[in-house]
Structure 1
């Protein structure tokens, strides 16, 4: 194929790649270990409604029943919510709505790669504010970057993926107030943080968009259900770039059912995940050669003396972990999803084994 056929912004483009997984214990994608269909009432409710779902009809283009259920969950009006295929689609729709070629997108790094990737496709200028060496995001530095660069769109991942760092609501409010453009706060992991959502500040800021998902705490990664919350006029604008039937009927139904059982699901899923996260942090910090960073999410970032060696040894133990190749800012770092105590102990065994090799 001729390169000149391609859009100029993707001729040297590196897409977000999902690696092939051969291991049986998968802790590389921050997925929940809990199956939604292991809740008997949820399974019964879903299958009963599924039997009445007309497969020959197109889905509701705006998923209004789901939007109302989401509104009840996050204390927002249904017209302040847009649902779609995961948080990834929300990011894409937001940028398609607000970014022209040459516009500035501001991000802190390291963070979720998709913000930059989707911005590159549109020909945006990506300005990156690096973390400190211990992966703490410097709030005042980021505020200064907002004032200097006057970004069209600013992304704040909170808690941050992959570091787990979290900024308080009061600091993010200062950033929203300082920004001349849209501020997107990605709260994919908020249920694990114990912190108040920025959704509570929605009506105080007309340039705020909050992204949430049912992939993590609800364990619905396979259904691909993300949503954004903003003032109604912002939702109407973002909806202009939405495909007519972007969210299938099956996922819409599962979302409604899961939200109606949200108290049971979250009570079951979230506390044990937090407990395993904190257990891993405590135990990993006792192992020589392993630097462990605080986390408010369902994963932990660690830095080792030899990241590729740890990846290899974990794979030999049938464990797939997230690593970062040759990235300088994440050299020798691994991101570990907190799942069950059984898996945590298998991880610790590998780390203890590698630490003993370092002593040799």
Structure 2
């Protein structure tokens, strides 16, 4: 299938002229900077002006992308950085979907921001439910796709179920879907599989989303990544805010990305604790089923889920109630914590007594 980006874009996006910032006109690091109306006297509380935050950050995060390229084995020209991966989701919808005309296709239960971003942009949402064991149902998906479907979102490993989706079916839709296929890999570091970002050269209609929030422990700093063809990256850069990644986030990410061995060690600890937590939960009579996980959390079906959720909150143990989500009835989503946190969770669950069983 031939991929023509410009046929998919909203008509005005191709010709839109992006905002040109001062750092677009001069990207050097030395000189007398009198071009951006910054405060040349520095930031209050920082005696050394060079150490302050009075200069705008690099709008294209070149140093950071270079380091990410080395780690992810993806050329820097194929990387977009956003204020969380949510920014990339929003920009993709704005770039490709005409409000009130086009639609995106999602596979519930899945990450909720696809639906929120579509609603904000007045873009129709089409749903192709996964099977009860959280797999792609090709027949249902084919029925949801129509001529106005511009974006197809696969969350793999999926949230809230935790499992990888079938790679053969993702590849099928990369080959046959006449739009952009987005594979959201927020939890890929915890899965024993290769990232779809390694197939960008093969599929010009592929966008892969990842995040620094999970395995890299940077949730508070909001840094998401999109990997795609140079053409798609150029579109995202054209329509993003000029300085969407602040200097503190860029500086912190560069430091964190130097700690690859520690990051890998932490991931291994999480995987070990995931197995231990699952084993401990399986001993509890109220636990009915624990779904297979390729992520840093477990989806657990249990008796009295809603009541147990509130009991745990009262005990200052916070999990996520997913019992109102399709195919997740009676389920809590539990993030894998430290050994002490997991132990406290299990102890509180052992002590739990359903109100209905109290005479």
- TM-score tier after normalising by the smaller chain length: 0.7 to 0.9
Equivalent positions of 1:247-286 (< 5 A) are 247-262=245-260, 264-286=261-283
Q: Secondary structure at the match of 1:271?
A: helix
Question: 2 CA distance for matches of 1:268 and 1:327?
Answer: 33
Q: 1:355 to 1:191 in 2, by over 3 A?
A: farther
Cα deviation for residue 357 of structure 1 reads 7.0
The answer to whether the 8 A contact 2:108-2:128 is kept is yes
Given the two structures, how large is their TM-score scaled by the length of structure 2? Answer: 0.80
Unaligned 5+ segments in structure 1 are 1-49
The residue number in structure 2 matching 1:69 is: 67
Deviations 1:186-222 (A, max 9, x none): 1111000121000111110010000111110010001
- Structure with a larger share of its residues in helix: 1
Question: 1 CA distance for matches of 2:151 and 2:305?
Answer: 34
The residue number in structure 2 matching 1:35 is: none
The residue number in structure 2 matching 1:27 is: none
Pick the aligned partner of 1:228 from 226, 229, 245. Answer: 226
Mean Cα displacement is larger for which, 195-204 or 321-330?
Answer: 321-330
The residue number in structure 2 matching 1:186 is: 184
Q: 1:283 to 1:233 in 2, by over 3 A?
A: same
Question: 2 CA distance for matches of 1:353 and 1:178?
Answer: 52
Higher relative contact order (Cα pairs below 8 Å, separated by 6+ residues) = 1
The answer to whether the 8 A contact 1:189-1:298 is kept is yes
Question: 2 CA distance for matches of 1:142 and 1:211?
Answer: 24
Structure 1 residue 129 corresponds to structure 2 residue 128: yes
Question: 2 CA distance for matches of 1:359 and 1:301?
Answer: 25
The residue number in structure 2 matching 1:240 is: 238
The residue number in structure 2 matching 1:106 is: 105
Q: 1:216 to 1:273 in 2, by over 3 A?
A: same
Q: Which runs of 4+ in 1 moved over 6 A?
A: 355-360
Equivalent positions of 1:159-198 (< 5 A) are 159-198=157-196
Cα deviation for residue 232 of structure 1 reads 0.4
Q: Secondary structure at the match of 2:257?
A: helix
Structure whose alpha-carbon radius of gyration is higher:
2
Given the two structures, how large is their TM-score scaled by the length of structure 1? Answer: 0.80
Q: 1:72 to 1:359 in 2, by over 3 A?
A: same
Q: 1:200 to 1:53 in 2, by over 3 A?
A: farther
Q: Secondary structure at the match of 1:204?
A: coil
The residue number in structure 1 matching 2:115 is: 116
The answer to whether the 8 A contact 1:150-1:179 is kept is no
Q: 1:130 to 1:168 in 2, by over 3 A?
A: closer
The answer to whether the 8 A contact 1:146-1:179 is kept is no
Deviations 1:129-162 (A, max 9, x none): 122233x223434553466566210111110111
Q: 1:220 to 1:307 in 2, by over 3 A?
A: same
Structure 1 residue 157 corresponds to structure 2 residue 119: no
Q: 1:53 to 1:249 in 2, by over 3 A?
A: farther
Equivalent positions of 1:1-360 (< 5 A) are 53-101=51-99, 102-134=101-133, 136-141=134-139, 144-145=142-143, 151-262=149-260, 264-290=261-287, 291-324=289-322, 326-327=324-325, 329-354=327-352
Root-mean-square deviation (Å): 2.2
The answer to whether the 8 A contact 1:288-1:355 is kept is no
Deviations 1:78-137 (A, max 9, x none): 111011211111111111111111212110101110001101112212111122233x22
Unaligned 5+ segments in structure 2 are 1-47
